Amino acid sequence: MNFKNPVGDLAQSLIDLGLRAVGRDLDDFLKRTKTRKEAAQILEELVRVEHQERTQKSLERRQNRSKLGNFKPMTSFDWDWPKLDRDIAEAALKLRFLDEGANLIIIGAHGLGKTMLLKNIAHQAVLNGHTVLFVSAAKMLGELGGIDSPSKLEARLKYYSGIRFLCVDEVGYLSYDNRAADLLFEIVTRRYEAGKSMALTTNLAFKDWITVFPHATCTIALVDRLTHRADILKIEGDSWRRKEALERQKREVQP
């Protein structure tokens, strides 16, 4: 830790770490020591070590709470394979949409790397100090739909609405009833009004979302809230697994 103004910056650092008495009276504390310079250096090292430890623990907590699990890093992503706007993808990885309080929507068929890309974006958010949750649409809506107690439901809605960056995976793979649509709309609305970003992946164009919520009246309003402030990334191409299978077949037939 580099202190341009050793006493002033060190005092505030000690206070931030909870050593308020020492921080408030740091100058008097150093005067009472035999070697003021060495005492200041010891305290600076104490602050550095403690800050490093707390930063690491905070990162570990955010990683655990994010529920990201295992995922391939972007170094494994073949930018020449699917058709996508690389500028939008790289801007998303730099979290520009998150800084602006906008949403991110990744659209593409199954097997094109949507989840891999979103997990890498979420991981960058974790590294940058944000609270993140990665959850499938089926899991989140299934959990919320199974809650009978109004107070417990409100607590979970606050949880999903309060996270700095909520990532919802695989919207469109299953159909849901009206209640699920209303619950998702409630979360989207609360986050929209609070200016908190969310991201989701879907295999469907927005005009086809009526197949996901076939009887819901809020579908149009839901899409409108999601897309009002959003970066939309479309990915086109053949399935990654199909691509790998074809490449494997070519290697096998080579002499």
Cβ proximity of 171 and 201 under 8 Å: yes
pLDDT category at 5 given cuts 50, 70, 90 is: very low
In a domain, 248, yes or no: no
| 207 and 122 part of one domain | yes
In a domain, 255, yes or no: no
| 153 and 188 part of one domain | yes
| 14 and 61 part of one domain | yes
Q: Is 180 exposed, middle or buried (0-12, 13-18, 19+ CB in 10 A)?
A: buried
- Please give the structure tokens belonging to residue 234: 């479309």
How much is the average pLDDT of 31-50?
73
pLDDT category at 30 given cuts 50, 70, 90 is: confident
Task: Provide the pLDDT for residue 33.
Answer: 72
Quote the domain boundaries for residue 114.
74-242
> Higher pLDDT residue, 3 or 186?
186
> Higher pLDDT residue, 12 or 28?
12
In a domain, 1, yes or no: no
| 95 and 14 part of one domain | no
Q: What is the pLDDT of residues 207-216, one digit of tens each?
A: 999 999 998 8
How much is the average pLDDT of 125-140?
97
| 226 and 193 part of one domain | yes
| 43 and 125 part of one domain | no
Task: Provide the pLDDT for residue 203.
Answer: 95
CATH of the domain at 113: 3.40.50.300
- Total number of domains in the chain: 2
Phi, psi angle pair for 77, to nearest 5°:
-85, 130
Secondary structure (3-state) at 112: coil
Q: Is the pLDDT confidence value at 3 over 50?
A: no
In a domain, 108, yes or no: yes
pLDDT category at 7 given cuts 50, 70, 90 is: very low
Task: Provide the pLDDT for residue 71.
Answer: 94
Q: Is the pLDDT confidence value at 172 over 80?
A: yes
> Higher pLDDT residue, 141 or 37?
141
| 99 and 216 part of one domain | yes
| 209 and 145 part of one domain | yes
| 33 and 103 part of one domain | no
pLDDT category at 242 given cuts 50, 70, 90 is: low
Q: Is the pLDDT confidence value at 17 over 60?
A: yes
| 104 and 227 part of one domain | yes
| 47 and 115 part of one domain | no
Please give the C-alpha separations between residue 89 and each of 71, 76, 93, 95, 191, in angstroms, as whole numbers: 17, 15, 6, 10, 22
The residues, ordered by sequence, that sit 6+ positions from 41 with a Cβ below 8 Å of its Cβ are: none
Question: Looking at 18, 39, 66, which one is the last position of a domain?
Answer: 66
Give which of 68, 86, 85, 70 is closest to 165, Cα–Cα.
Answer: 68
Q: How many residues does the structure list for the chain? A: 255
> Higher pLDDT residue, 164 or 241?
164
| 200 and 132 part of one domain | yes
